[in-house]
Amino acid sequence: EPATNRPPAASWMPDSRRLVLAGNPAPSSGATLWLADTRSESLSRLLADPSGGQTTPSVSPDGKRLLFTKLEVDRDIVELPLDGSAPRTLLATSLPEFAPAWSPSGDQFAYVTRRNGSDELWVRSKEGNWDRPVVTAKEFPTLEALVSPVFSPDGSRIAYTAVLAGGGRRRSLAISPAAGGTPTIVADGYAPTWSPDGSKIAFLWIKPDGSTPVAIISVGSDRPPT
């Protein structure tokens, strides 16, 4: 495992053996996309452009496509076929769109946009024929930022982190219905990922003492994370 300048963002391929990483070997700056094989311990670059600015990968459920954020002065959402064909921009406006995440069906994706001046979580069809909000300032009046959305395995819910003003910029791990509605805050933390049955979430838990262990919380339970 080569040393990286920061922990790389990652998204598993369906075979649970390979994964796409967004990072660069230290001391390089920025991030580029790599395909990693956990058995052979090999790394191969997915895009020829080594300049960086490729982050938050999300592999489609069939393993044939990849969404990622292309960092420029503006941020856009790009789909990269994993058969070597050319990338295709799915969403590009004069405002930032970033942090995409495929739904389990692969026909829609969640993303963060600043179309109304502050971070909002929206869901959009792959073809772009519909686009709707899930989380806005209405749900979180003190919202400063939204981070790392991810669909539940059945596609009905989205977990994410809401960074809220006050109290030292609290980072709240929350769940919202994918169709929109009242969010549920489950813990302080970020970087969620669902268990295959959708009953638990693994995440980085921000404990009262300031430490951030990897933890698991049962969805819908009053039990604290472990």
Q: By percentage, how much of the chain surpasses pLDDT 90?
A: 69
Give the pLDDT confidence score for residue 1 in this predicted structure. Answer: 53
Res. 169: pLDDT tops 90:
no
Res. 207: pLDDT tops 80:
yes
d(CA 42, CA 34): 10
d(CA 68, CA 22): 9
* Average predicted confidence (pLDDT) for the chain: 90
Provide mean pLDDT across the span 139-168: 91
Provide mean pLDDT across the span 65-93: 89
135's CB contacts (< 8 A; 6+ apart) are 120, 121, 143, 146, 160, 162, 174, 176, 183
210 or 226, greater pLDDT: 226
Q: Kindly indicate the confidence band of residue 32, based on its pLDDT and cuts at 50, 70 and 90.
A: confident
SS3 30: coil
CA angle 42, 43, 45 (to 5 degrees): 150
d(CA 163, CA 2): 31
SS3 164: strand
Give the pLDDT confidence score for residue 113 in this predicted structure. Answer: 93
C-beta separation of 109 from 97 below 8 A: no
Res. 117: pLDDT tops 70:
yes
Give the pLDDT confidence score for residue 170 in this predicted structure. Answer: 83
The secondary structure of residue 26, as a DSSP letter, is T
C-beta separation of 67 from 78 below 8 A: yes
C-beta separation of 92 from 99 below 8 A: no
C-beta separation of 116 from 136 below 8 A: yes
C-beta separation of 7 from 22 below 8 A: no
- pTM value? 0.76
Give the pLDDT confidence score for residue 87 in this predicted structure. Answer: 93
**What does the pLDDT look like over 3-23, one tens digit per residue?**
565 678 899 999 999 999 988
d(CA 132, CA 24): 34
